Structure 1
Amino acid sequence: MLRFSNRSETNPESARRPALLSLQASPSVLLHAGAMPGATDASTSPLSPHTIPAPGAWRMSTILIVDDRPSNRRYLSALLGHTGHRLLEAYDGAHALAQVRTERPDLIITDILMPAMDGYEFVQQLRADPELAATRVIFYSAIYAVSETTALARSCGVTRVLAKPADPEDILAAVHGELGLSGSAGMHDQGPPPDDGAPVLSADLGSSIDDALVSARQALGALLQRHGATDAALGADLNTLVGERMSGLRSLAARLGAMEEMSLRLTGERNADAMIGVFLQAAGAILDADCVAVCLLDSGEQRVRHLAARGVDSALLAGRALDTRQLPGTLLQQPLALRLQDGAALPEGHPAVDGFLGLAIRDRNHLYGWMYCARAPGATPFSHEDERIGVTLGAQLAVAYENLGLYEVVQRHAAQLQLEAAARLQADRALRDSEQRLRLSARILESTQESIMMTDAQGAIIAVNPAFEHITGYSEAEVVGRNPRLLQSGRHDSAFYRAIWASLTASGQWRGEITNRRKNGQVYPERISINAVRGANGAVDAYVSVSSDISALKAAHHQVDFLSNHDPLTLLPNRSVLVDRMQQAIASARHGDRQIALLLFNIDRLQRINDSLGHEAGDALLREVARRAGMLAGPADSLAHLGSDEFVLLLTECLDSDAIIVAVRRLIDEIAQPFHADGHELIVTTSVGISIYPRDGANPSELLKAADVALSHMKDAGRNGFRFFKGEMNAHALRWMALETHLRRAIERNELSLHYQPQVALGSGRMCSMEALLRWSSPELGQVGPGDFIALAEDTGLILPIGNWVIRQACMQNKAWQDAGLPPLRVAVNVSAHQFTAGTVPAVVREALRESGLDARYLEIELTESVMMRDSEAAEKQLAELTDMGVSISLDDFGTGYSSLGYLSRFMLDKLKIDQSFVRNIISDPRSAAIAQATIALAHGLSLTVVAEGVETAEQLAFLQRIGCDEVQGYLFSRPLAADAMALLMASDARLALPPPLPASLPGSLPGSLPASP
């Protein structure tokens, strides 16, 4: 515990004189009085020059501190004095307004509750003056209702509110934030932090006085040098005298700082025992007392509520606490402080003392208790200055104890804003600043967003706030004196209102939701709380209601509920709502022995529209489809959007299959009408799968599954039409599901393998490369063709692990052949569009090449036109990575899809493959021959190698050779071979027998001759 002792002073009287000054001035004024002759009042003068930083380091600002309590102004001045700003002070709003007009401060720190003109009115007048309106303001005040005070501050343009008491760091941070400074702007090196428990403010004051003392002594030394040796003795005496005076000033400044800190800590305490503990510790340190005791009475001033002591057992004092005939109880009747030289009159067992200082703790109207301090034998007796400081400490404890009582009252009545206002009104009758607090409460009620209405005990309205007027549309003048039933909406019966009155009578409160009517007739929901306000006799004086218009909240809840059951794009019911309606429709159809039809339909090739015109156009199309389909739905039917491009139309009044067909055709025709998007006219088609209750299913799940199977068959049949579900469709779906199960197991059981089909160069007849083809040999299903399981793998996502395995296996096998001494040939692997969509192809190829050790030039990646159509930018990026590795790229099945010359020039391709559908009819069909010839000419123009697939006859070979084809692949040379058979073929160096040149024309071919491709 720090002790601020004056026992070592050689001349107590010399310390007493500056102490009189310290009681009149703030610590900042004390610094001037001790360090600078002719110092002026701190309220109009800046702080000591030594606190101002060097020029250019930062900009000094002017700060005005407005508070009716001098102690609060002194605290802020002391705290901000070390930042180097220019500080001004004002004692109320009117004084502050005059200061602002003359001094034009950069920042104002103001209390709210002040006499004459409070902080709120002051800021309102400030904002009303265009020349002063931009001045920045911080509210620094005791806050009981934080949200209302914050709303009050915002209403007058104040963005920062500090609650008393605030930590120094918070105050400095707020000031720096308003002035646009960093956290350390304006602060000087403070040295090492103070020890735990050391008062920060006191340490700062001591440091500042030390600086002033050094400066004074330096100035005195310079003076002595000018006067010479004769005046040196006199100068030494003066220097000694100045040192003694400054030592006393430093001690007094430290005591004042400790008193300031104690006052702040007492104000911040909300527990009486903790507050008394703070006081005992601080008072002992400030008065250098060995024993300190405090007795606080209850509000009736007849009973001891708190009795505590330091340095003496409080139990010794309990018997005399209220005994006015002997110490310490007699202090309750002492009008002035009592100083004694010894403790003879103290209770038996009390430690011996040589100095006693006691006094009553009171203000003008109340007696709060007593306190005394005592010093151990041999100590300096208490001085007159100690007595004055003791009186000040007692006054601070009285204020803190009084405020603590007020806080407890407010806490008990803080449940609702009206109860808090009533409790505040009741508490304010016992406080000197009740008028200011009531004014603040009124302004809070005016600024709150909640509707507040007060009635008398008979239910007549006596007051409303502006929020009530805004919400209901009634002005206060229109409703005062009337009964609140004028707001009734008619939505509640008399029993509802009787229940409200029963609750108010029994418990004095009611809370709930109610529907009222505005003046304009609009009905709105409110969340309301009604409380009875009782007087001192317990009778009801008034009723206060606090309500909030929850129309927006109800609408938001409705919107959330709607979106949880509807598709946000089309606003149609989603799957959960559809299933619920299907269950209702099935129950109704079962009862009436009727059938219902479920139409599951989607938009054909919606993805192409998204890719070409953007998703905005696709979304607009879906909304238009929902609108058109909704026009066809009957009042008992249901339309739902299940996601993506999938819709369901549930027909509940179906007489027979013909009626269903008519409805489906109308749906298909309506959707096929032209649709306009971004200046484009689009015509889209739809595919429909139909299931019927009870024939195809007895519940929603079975009906949806049956319709989905029918829709899949419609898509397989070419789209743009409808299919009814049939038993064989379901059997096919079951086989499809079984095949998926077997395929998943095939990956785990290593049932997949690769076969290889050679590709032959027409220039030499030798093998130049080969294509890896996937095969599946199942123990249960036998040999499963690629056409039966590749599409399934793509639909289920199994194509990704299978495709990765193919790339890896082809690389491993090719490297093994090369290591065995076989001729190095390039192996081509077909990669699915799904693999490119996943974006993993370059990484998989890179890992396969690394793991196998195969040179990248012996790997070729084949892709179809669908890869370029899905996501051309992503595909282009991946192909560029593959090309950088040295991997060749070929385009498979050219001409069978959406061929685009733009893609051929854009993508980095090495080879073009003519699909076998053209090669098969190349001799008999002139158009197939023309396509093949044009493809070869185009490819050669782009420096691409051309491979013809499916070459099975010598005639096909001869024709392809004639029109300039580079390579062929097909059964004419070799069927796909297993790895060991392919190794034997490679070792044999087999060659394809090339035919002699063909005549100028071929039977069944194009008329005339077909010139060879350049």
Structure 2
Amino acid sequence: MLRFERLNEASWALLFLDPACERELGLGASDLCSLTGAPYASLMEPDARYRLHEDIQQQLLAGPHYRVTYTLHTPNGSRRLLELGETFKQHGRQLLRGYLLAIEAPPQRAEPPASDDEQHLFQRAVEQSSSAFMLVDRDGLVEYVNPSFTAITLYSADEVRGRRLSELPALENLSDILFDSQFGLAEHNSWQGEFRSRRKNLEPYWGQLSISKVHDDAGKLTHYIGIYEDITETKLAQQRIERLAYTDNLTRLGNRPAFIRSLEQRFAHGGDKPFSLLLVDIDNFKRINDSLGHQTGDKLLVSLAKRLRNSLGANGSLARFASNEFAVLLDDTDLASGQAFATQILHMLDKPLFVDNQLISITGSVGLACAPLHGEDPQTLMKHAGLALHKAKANGKHQAQVFTEALNAEAHYKLFVENNLRRALTQNELEVFYQPKLCLKSGQLRGLEALLRWNHPDKGMIRPDQFISVAEETGLIIPIGKWVVRQACRMSRQLAALGLGELQVAINLSPKQFSDPDLVGSIASILHEEQLSARLLELELTESLLLDATEDTRHQLTRLKNLGLTLAMDDFGTGYSSLSYLKKFPIDVIKIDRSFIKDIPDSQDDMEITSAVIAMAHNLKLTVVAEGIESAAQLAFLRRHHCDVGQGYLFDQPIAGRVLIDSLRRYPCRK
């Protein structure tokens, strides 16, 4: 007896065939199970499969079961088969399943075998089948079981014959399948599925069961026929695979798929009670791996996972969501309670961990979203918790952030910017504006600062502070930065050719541009291609770049300086350790931030700071540029203290490159 599943088509395409077929038919199951080429049907007599297929369809019109006989021509010779099957649906498609009973020798005549021969054959096949077979009357009394039933359940035929399944301690669930309406057999003629039962010795096992009703000629239910196989080993293997698939190997916590599955179940069965999702990210974890090694980093994560797990009560679950990110699900927790727990997590993370004989201090960031307030499905809640976490990290890390609709709007705007910015780079929507820089002593035009603008076809002019951060996050800042360098070089050369003198153009460099290993080479190539002297290009550097400068960054700055470029420190005085940068890096120019200029002459503190910065810079042989000059009083103060260069709305606002030449003709230029 060979179990099979196949398509209900004339192709006879097998989806499954008992591996024992190789002994019976001389061909392996893998050779016969194929959706193309019809290998099984090719063993039949010509035209037989079409005639038999029509016969099966006619039988299925009267009920879910059918029986046909046919001959297969196999490597082992011709085999006469009796196919007993039923129809069922899977994923919306009608399939057939059942058993093949082989006759050792085909009959000499085309007529089917006599009924007695078929019954004898069927009885012999059932007795020898590796599948358990049982016949139960309509009241649940067992009338017959085959030897395989005994092998699986350890109950002999005499122990079960004439008894109800419900009376046998290890088999009561089979009785439930027969008579409990939830299994569907009460409403339908057949049922197929997995079930968990126990052997006579109470050892648990799993079975794959196919059970059907038997009716007499009058249509009255008389019996149930059940056929099943012991699939315990397969089931245990599946469970092992599932544990591996849903468990994080390092921390032994659930992994991301496991947590998502748990969250989906929570939404499906949680009712109306609120619950909170917290995403916990370890700040600057890469530094720990880089400085202490990945092995120590892994041990730190294991210790941290234990600490987080111990902090949870019975209503909380924990998973490792990503490399250094954990997810916490708190049942029956409203927003206020979720915020309190987020604060508790931050305090817990502040406590050092003892790993590899050393204390390691860490901090974390937390994003919080509460259901149903912030999401009524798993995807929305996870997205909103992720947005909150991203905001917490963007705001400086070491804090908790609750989701708000403003974060959603910000995320949509960032997506809009990213999608449109890629197009802007190729559709000439980007434009460089230039703000004049004047020598404060002579009033002559000293140079220009290049300022990027985005002229969006629908949104109009977009300022850099509205799109540069997205360009940095997406890496678009690198090609955009190269484009700005080229435009600035071309403008400087064009102005010189028109007799406006050699004007140095300053451009801002983002820290992200230093992640480009070709930064120095690309600037050198642009200078060469545009035929511009390196002394006419100034690079303005942010304090964040200098604060986080690596050896590679220092090397890049030295190479840029060696090209002959001028290096300026932008927004001087706004950071924590600006003075130390003047010693560490080859800086030529400092730019006093506009925040120190705007309240002059009303703020005595700002005047003292500004005059001190100018004096210090001159003692260090540095050029000083003042930004944001808007009044004559500010200009007079800066001139009194011998500030070198100034820029601001008092002189000119940023000017579009397309009209720059005409605008600059009113300035006296250096000869």
User: TM-score band (shorter)?
Assistant: 0.5 to 0.7
- Write the letter of the residue equivalent to 1:583: E
Question: Which blocks of at least 5 consecutive residues in structure 2 are unaligned?
Answer: 1-149, 155-235
- Write the letter of the residue equivalent to 1:586: F
* 1:633 equivalent in alignment to 2:287: no
Equivalent position of 1:595 in the other structure: 274
Offset of residue 662 of structure 1 = 2.5
Equivalent position of 2:446 in the other structure: 768
Residue 665 of structure 2: SS of its match in structure 1?
helix
Q: 2:574 aligns with which of 896, 919, 924?
A: 896
| Distance in 1 between residues matched to 2:506 and 2:573, nearest whole Å | 19
Does the 8 Å CA contact 1:837/1:874 hold for their aligned counterparts? no
1:729-744 aligned at under 5 Å gives the runs 729-744=407-422
- Write the letter of the residue equivalent to 1:634: G
* 1:979 equivalent in alignment to 2:668: no
Offset of residue 850 of structure 1 = 1.8
Sort the Cα spacing of 1:616 and 1:981 in 2 relative to 1 into closer, same or farther, 3 A: farther
Equivalent position of 1:580 in the other structure: 261
1:168-567 aligned at under 5 Å gives the runs 565-566=247-248
Does the 8 Å CA contact 1:759/1:768 hold for their aligned counterparts? yes
- Write the letter of the residue equivalent to 1:812: R
Does the 8 Å CA contact 1:601/1:647 hold for their aligned counterparts? yes
Q: 2:483 aligns with which of 793, 800, 805?
A: 805
Sort the Cα spacing of 1:677 and 1:886 in 2 relative to 1 into closer, same or farther, 3 A: farther
Sort the Cα spacing of 1:822 and 1:655 in 2 relative to 1 into closer, same or farther, 3 A: closer
Equivalent position of 1:910 in the other structure: 588
Equivalent position of 2:217 in the other structure: none
Offset of residue 776 of structure 1 = 0.7
Residue 467 of structure 2: SS of its match in structure 1?
helix
Residue 696 of structure 1: SS of its match in structure 2?
coil
Does the 8 Å CA contact 2:276/2:335 hold for their aligned counterparts? no
Question: Which blocks of at least 5 consecutive residues in structure 1 are unaligned?
Answer: 1-493, 499-553, 993-1014
| Distance in 2 between residues matched to 1:819 and 1:770, nearest whole Å | 16
* 1:786 equivalent in alignment to 2:467: no
* 1:670 equivalent in alignment to 2:348: yes
Offset of residue 833 of structure 1 = 0.6
Sort the Cα spacing of 1:659 and 1:980 in 2 relative to 1 into closer, same or farther, 3 A: closer
Identity of aligned residues (%): 40
| Distance in 1 between residues matched to 2:349 and 2:370, nearest whole Å | 22
Cα-to-partner distance string for 1:395-415 (whole Å, 9 max, x where unaligned): xxxxxxxxxxxxxxxxxxxxx
Offset of residue 796 of structure 1 = 1.7
Residue 850 of structure 1: SS of its match in structure 2?
helix
Offset of residue 560 of structure 1 = 13
Sort the Cα spacing of 1:912 and 1:668 in 2 relative to 1 into closer, same or farther, 3 A: same
- Write the letter of the residue equivalent to 2:273: R
- Write the letter of the residue equivalent to 2:506: A
Does the 8 Å CA contact 2:315/2:332 hold for their aligned counterparts? no
Does the 8 Å CA contact 2:438/2:445 hold for their aligned counterparts? yes
Does the 8 Å CA contact 1:837/1:871 hold for their aligned counterparts? no
Cα-to-partner distance string for 1:1-28 (whole Å, 9 max, x where unaligned): xxxxxxxxxxxxxxxxxxxxxxxxxxxx
Q: 1:949 aligns with which of 627, 632, 645?
A: 627
| Distance in 2 between residues matched to 1:567 and 1:925, nearest whole Å | 61
Equivalent position of 1:387 in the other structure: none
| Distance in 2 between residues matched to 1:826 and 1:564, nearest whole Å | 60
Sort the Cα spacing of 1:676 and 1:774 in 2 relative to 1 into closer, same or farther, 3 A: farther
Residue 890 of structure 1: SS of its match in structure 2?
strand
Sort the Cα spacing of 1:972 and 1:637 in 2 relative to 1 into closer, same or farther, 3 A: same
Sort the Cα spacing of 1:956 and 1:611 in 2 relative to 1 into closer, same or farther, 3 A: farther
Offset of residue 904 of structure 1 = 2.5
Cα-to-partner distance string for 1:299-350 (whole Å, 9 max, x where unaligned): xxxxxxxxxxxxxxxxxxxxxxxxxxxxxxxxxxxxxxxxxxxxxxxxxxxx
Equivalent position of 1:828 in the other structure: 506
Offset of residue 562 of structure 1 = 5.1
Cα-to-partner distance string for 1:356-410 (whole Å, 9 max, x where unaligned): xxxxxxxxxxxxxxxxxxxxxxxxxxxxxxxxxxxxxxxxxxxxxxxxxxxxxxx
- Write the letter of the residue equivalent to 1:600: L
Residue 514 of structure 2: SS of its match in structure 1?
helix
Does the 8 Å CA contact 1:911/1:944 hold for their aligned counterparts? yes
Does the 8 Å CA contact 1:595/1:694 hold for their aligned counterparts? yes
Larger RCO (alpha carbons 8 Å, 6+ apart):
2
Equivalent position of 2:556 in the other structure: 878
| Distance in 2 between residues matched to 1:964 and 1:615, nearest whole Å | 54
Equivalent position of 2:61 in the other structure: none
Equivalent position of 1:688 in the other structure: 366
TM-score (norm 1): 0.40
Equivalent position of 2:387 in the other structure: 709
Equivalent position of 1:959 in the other structure: 637
| Distance in 2 between residues matched to 1:736 and 1:760, nearest whole Å | 37
Sort the Cα spacing of 1:780 and 1:664 in 2 relative to 1 into closer, same or farther, 3 A: same
* 1:746 equivalent in alignment to 2:428: no
Residue 780 of structure 1: SS of its match in structure 2?
coil
Cα-to-partner distance string for 1:281-300 (whole Å, 9 max, x where unaligned): xxxxxxxxxxxxxxxxxxxx
Higher relative helix content: 1
- Write the letter of the residue equivalent to 1:899: S
Cα-to-partner distance string for 1:634-670 (whole Å, 9 max, x where unaligned): 345332333354332121x224333223222211222
| Distance in 2 between residues matched to 1:606 and 1:921, nearest whole Å | 41
Number of residue pairs matched?
440
TM-score (norm 2): 0.59
Offset of residue 682 of structure 1 = 7.7
Higher relative strand content: 2
Equivalent position of 1:852 in the other structure: 530
Equivalent position of 1:817 in the other structure: 495
1:16-55 aligned at under 5 Å gives the runs none
Does the 8 Å CA contact 1:914/1:946 hold for their aligned counterparts? yes
